[in-house]
Amino acid sequence: MLVQVAVVDSSANSNIGGQLNSGVNESNLLSGNGTISRNNSGCGYVSSTTKAMAYEPPVSCTTFNILAPIYKRVDQKNQNLRESNFRAVWLSRNQKILNWLLHERSSIICLQEFWVDNEELVHMYQQRLGDAGYVTFQLARTNNRGDGLLTAVLKDHFTILNYRELLFNDCGDRVAQLLHVQLAFPFSQNREGDAQQEFLLVNTHLLFPHDSCLSVARLHQVYKILQHVEQYQRENKLNNASILLCGDWNGSKRGQVYKFLRSQGFVSSYDIAHQYTDSDADSHRWVSHRNHRGNICGVDFILLCNPNKSRKPLKKSWAEAVFGIIKCQLQKASLIENNAFVFLKPGDHGNFLTYSAFCEALRQVNLIGLPYGLTSEETEELWMQADINGNGVVEYEEFKRRVWNSECAELREENCSERTRDSENDTEEEAIGFNVKNAVLFPREAEKGMWPENYSLSDHARLTVVFSPVRMQCSQRGTSL
């Protein structure tokens, strides 16, 4: 399956600020217990628990949905009244946001719901971030939605090798930014001096699941991102480059989007730092968003895929995720395994499912027949995977295996330096990966699964993760679409 996405390969909208001021820069320390303190060492974020940080400058990343003023409601009785009508209010709030960002001074900042249509706000962010030594890239959502993305990177930490814009042109007018980044400092662990000191960074904001029928559209958006990342890796021989996916995913760890990403080797940096698992018990330990319905949930992630992570073929993972959505829709109709199969198959035509009945069932649960549903090509591909023996129908056992019991299972991490090569054609390469050192959410109550009533910077928490670069020996292997 080839998903079309418009790509702009350009750095024309970057804001290359002036040179960094000479002298010592104030920076922050992220201590072992996650608190932020001031420091004048100029080394940025460090973990007090890791001595290696004295030799290797850490990489810190912040993702933050800053709630565009055009969306921020200021009167519950008049839902059409927005903060954008009151300049002094939105200006003050965004000045405070910038104060916090510059106080933390993460090496990478990824913002969502950035009000790209307001020249005054855009200029304020570009000027203050540029003066602080950041290069910035902004991208508006399609169809003049008013908001978009902003990514800022510290120039003395990284060199930007390439920048691409991904325009999904879908029902949510969503977009993504892809940056090809190189570490600007020499890596002392790189004994041979030939390791790829490069990684890929993505900033995005997925569609909000206003109803369960949009699950496929959200999965499409992630598929487009990963498909383009894989294509970029092949074109630039970056199969062993680490990948950071940052942003507001508008979905929790229990959703199919997260499970899909886990099956592709990605891990939630915050959960790694706090030793949380993907279990139901750990899925509610932290939150990062109170949505317009008043619900609190964890939807903001910095997802890491290191080069020593196995990755399933992308198309296979996508199919498993869609089968999971189908199962979820059937369960919402109060159908258990056997009843679900009866619902799918036509009448009393034997203990099997035909393709036409399969399509009709998908239509009844709103997964096809809608602009944001499955295409006919995608439906055919799902059918081919469900029909394991290729006899043109899906028997009950095939239904159980492919649809009802399908899981986007995570893949185990491999120790590339110790694994046995599968063939003599495999070659070993040295690559740079990242260890998660620490991660914090602000406001701090979010780390306990609570949302403070007096928090007004945004309806999202700010997530900051600290990584330390490490060298890895990995086999040179391509990935498959």
Q: Which of 79-88, 108-117, 176-185, 402-411 has the lowest mean pLDDT?
A: 402-411
Is the pLDDT higher at 325 or at 465?
465
pLDDT exceeds 50 at position 15: no
Q: Which of 94-108, 147-161, 251-265 has the lowest mean pLDDT?
A: 251-265
pLDDT the model gives residue 143: 94
Q: Which of 127-131, 226-230, 421-425 has the lowest mean pLDDT?
A: 421-425
- Per-residue model confidence as pLDDT tens digits over 107-134: 999 999 999 999 999 999 999 999 999 9
- Which of 48-52, 214-218, 415-419 tops mean pLDDT? 214-218
Is the pLDDT higher at 53 or at 160?
160
d(CA 462, CA 62): 7
pLDDT the model gives residue 254: 87
- Which of 311-325, 343-357, 379-393, 451-465 tops mean pLDDT? 451-465
Q: Which of 150-159, 196-205, 323-332, 335-344 has the lowest mean pLDDT?
A: 335-344
pLDDT the model gives residue 363: 87
pLDDT the model gives residue 407: 60
pLDDT exceeds 90 at position 302: yes
pLDDT the model gives residue 196: 59
- Confidence band, pLDDT 50/70/90 cuts, at residue 194: low
pLDDT the model gives residue 9: 64
pLDDT exceeds 50 at position 460: yes
pLDDT the model gives residue 6: 66
3-state secondary structure the chain: CCCCCEEEECCCCCEECCCCCCCCCCEEEECCCCCEEEECCCCCCCECCCHHHHCCCCEEEEEEECCCCCCCECCCCCCCCEHHHCHHHHHHHHHHHHHHHHHHCCCEEEEEEECCCCHHHHHHHHHHHHHCCEEEEEEECCCCCCCEEEEEEECCCEEEEEEEEEECCCCCCCEEEEEEEEECCCCCCCCCCCCECEEEEEEEECCCCCCHHHHHHHHHHHHHHHHHHHHHHHHCCCCCCEEEEEEECCCCCCCHHHHHHHHCCCEEHHHHHCCCCCCCCCCCCCCCEECCCCCEECCEEEEEECCCECCCCHHHHHHHHHHHHHHHHHHHCCCCHHHHHHHHCCCCCCCEECHHHHHHHHHHCCCCCCCCCCCHHHHHHHHHHHCCCCCCCEEHHHHHHHHHCCCCCCCCECCCCCCCCCCCCCCEEEEEEEEEEEEEEECHHHHHCCCCCCCCCCCECEEEEEEEEEEEEEECCCCCC
pLDDT exceeds 70 at position 416: no
Is the pLDDT higher at 71 or at 213?
71
pLDDT exceeds 50 at position 25: no
- 392 CB-contact burial (10 Å; exposed 0-12 / middle 13-18 / buried 19+): exposed
pLDDT the model gives residue 81: 93
pLDDT the model gives residue 4: 53
Pairing of strands 108-114, 59-65: parallel
Question: What is the average per-residue pLDDT within 15-33?
Answer: 34
- Confidence band, pLDDT 50/70/90 cuts, at residue 1: low
Q: What percent of the chain has pLDDT over 70?
A: 76
pLDDT exceeds 80 at position 147: yes
pLDDT the model gives residue 166: 96
Is the pLDDT higher at 293 or at 192?
293
Backbone torsions φ then ψ of 230, nearest 5 degrees: -65, -40
Q: Which of 18-27, 107-116, 173-182, 437-446 has the lowest mean pLDDT?
A: 18-27
Question: What is the average per-residue pLDDT within 439-467?
Answer: 97
pLDDT the model gives residue 50: 36
- Confidence band, pLDDT 50/70/90 cuts, at residue 403: confident
| Positive/negative CA dihedral, 30, 159, 112, 249 | negative
- Per-residue model confidence as pLDDT tens digits over 197-213: 899 999 999 998 877 67
pLDDT the model gives residue 52: 37
Question: What is the average per-residue pLDDT within 315-328?
Answer: 86
Q: What percent of the chain has pLDDT over 90?
A: 50
Question: What is the average per-residue pLDDT within 267-293?
Answer: 93
- Per-residue model confidence as pLDDT tens digits over 176-187: 999 999 998 766
pTM: 0.83
Mean pLDDT score of the chain? 81
